[in-house]
Structure 1
């Protein structure tokens, strides 16, 4: 019989289903002080307090070695935390894995496929391994999943002949064989061409519209900004920030952009006006936003004889916020 472990001291919620969060909490994923330390002392995840709202498309961001994949593996019950708690669909993980995981679809670190089987037969194997799946409707579910990810025409092709992008699609199809309350995707657009990436974005939006919460780890910040409603940023195993994507981007300062053929003169005037981080980029000069009035700065440029062809304050992107928070660029591994 399962007993509460040292890493899961909260035994609340005696129901066997994953029908809702305890105490009316509307979060689909909630961690408190979640920590993973590997042998040798490596601290991969350090005191993580993460909250993923129900119905959100949640982007999980972080540079190389930030602890994203380790966190996902703990949430899915693949590894146990050293300390702290994790609740998924209101139930403690990994103790409640058997009741939670049938409601969760996941694609983590690439799909595990039988290369000698066709794409269709791989999905049949996945579906047969699900004790909740009705075998009488298996072929219908498999066909629908293949069609949804654009693999219907390649269903009879052996998986070993699939491209990386096709394998990613097949793994996503496996996660969608049953209706899911939560979908966990680790780099789902890896290997896809631009058209495939657009299709996956559209699919994620459809799933969210149908009520599925999507937890998405990706190194493509533009991708996250386009499709996600909320996001969290990890760095060196610790949570830096979390919130709505709009709030995170608003927390970073935008850039002043002056379009002019007189780049050197424009840069000189901006510096004289106390503007910081002035950069000349061909026919553009960019800088931090000024503390004073934009109109006064524009007037100073014109008075100095600078031919101003464009003058605007560009909104900060999620990438700007990420760099400001972590102090570094983005790496694909994590």
Structure 2
């Protein structure tokens, strides 16, 4: 596993050591996971569908027992300390379980009434505030069976927000939401983090992780590939060299002659300005040398630079596979 700079496991909000889950029949869903989630972070748990993310979360929440290894949440062993830990944790895992015959508001009232730590005197006020925070005030009186998938996701998130939490665990929280709803949930996650809540967010959407998370762990086929600050992960991957020129064919030839790999020419109309991209050169190679070679060959260089590597570039570099492949 490639290791980036990580938090101290002794002060981490979540820390696992060799956490493993093997199901009957031999399927290894999670394989020796060492995960460290720093306090105050928005931690993205990233991987294709089927990579072991939800199984890991279910072990962290004490819903299933690990086959071997350990998990500590808020400094306490799970699942042994579930009664102490879970009242401090808000969770939305595998979609919310709702009573379809009850309204959204009444679902939340029932959730809160089942929480022995919840104050019944403030119940209705807190339920109203949670509905407002996820944009469901107008739909609070509608029966949950009439809710769309996105509305059900919002209601599940509202349930996780009925009380202040030290840790919020969200499993694919934007599943079923339209683009506007996704933006609203991302904004809410940022607000919660700014209030001091640690957010553990699982997703298969690279863009989602890159936009809201401070830290990331990458899973593939049950194994942890890497973890650390998002910026460090992308920085560890070389970006792309980009040349803007009307002389795309000649520019591609010169770049190849200069040792640039994976040269790609964007299709353009004849004589129009186009883009030629290639692997970024190693740090010791002066970009000025490449510019000089292009100009010396009579190529009209309109633009030249490096594009920052994205989280997607980093994932493909680490795993060697596209991100739509289920592990």
TM-score category by the smaller chain? over 0.9
3-state DSSP of counterpart to 1:25: helix
Q: TM-score, normalised by structure 1?
A: 0.91
Counterpart of 2:68 in structure 1 is: 83
Contact 2:238/2:279 (8 A) holds in 1:
yes
Q: TM-score, normalised by structure 2?
A: 0.92
Counterpart of 1:142 in structure 2 is: 127
CA distance in 2, matches of 1:184, 1:149: 16
Counterpart of 2:38 in structure 1 is: 53
Query: 1:307: Cα distance to partner?
Result: 2.1
Counterpart of 1:125 in structure 2 is: 110
- What aligned pairs does 1:198-209 form with structure 2 within 5 A after superposition? 198-209=183-194
Deviations 1:174-214 (A, max 9, x none): 00001100000011111112221111111111111111000
CA distance in 2, matches of 1:262, 1:190: 44
Counterpart of 2:243 in structure 1 is: 258
Q: Quick one: which of 285, 291, 303 aligns to 2:276?
A: 285
Counterpart of 1:10 in structure 2 is: none
Tell me whether 1:210 sits opposite 2:210 in the alignment: no
Q: Quick one: which of 299, 306, 321 aligns to 1:328?
A: 321
Which structure 1 segments of 5+ residues have no match? 1-22
Contact 1:219/1:332 (8 A) holds in 2:
no
Deviations 1:196-244 (A, max 9, x none): 1111111111111111000000111111111101000111111111000
Query: 1:318: Cα distance to partner?
Result: 1.1
Deviations 1:222-277 (A, max 9, x none): 11111101000111111111000111111111100111222221111100001111
Query: 1:333: Cα distance to partner?
Result: 6.1
Query: 1:40: Cα distance to partner?
Result: 1.2
CA distance in 2, matches of 1:113, 1:214: 23
Provide the aligned length of Structure 1 versus Structure 2. Answer: 312
Counterpart of 1:183 in structure 2 is: 168
Contact 2:9/2:36 (8 A) holds in 1:
no
RMSD: 1.5
Counterpart of 1:72 in structure 2 is: 57
Counterpart of 2:255 in structure 1 is: 270
Deviations 1:274-296 (A, max 9, x none): 11111112221111112421111
Counterpart of 1:317 in structure 2 is: 310
CA distance in 1, matches of 2:60, 2:304: 47
Tell me whether 1:237 sits opposite 2:184 in the alignment: no
CA distance in 2, matches of 1:184, 1:66: 17
Counterpart of 2:3 in structure 1 is: none
Counterpart of 1:18 in structure 2 is: none
Please identify runs of 4+ aligned residues in structure 1 that moved more than 2 A: 331-334
Deviations 1:26-55 (A, max 9, x none): 200000010001111111111110000010
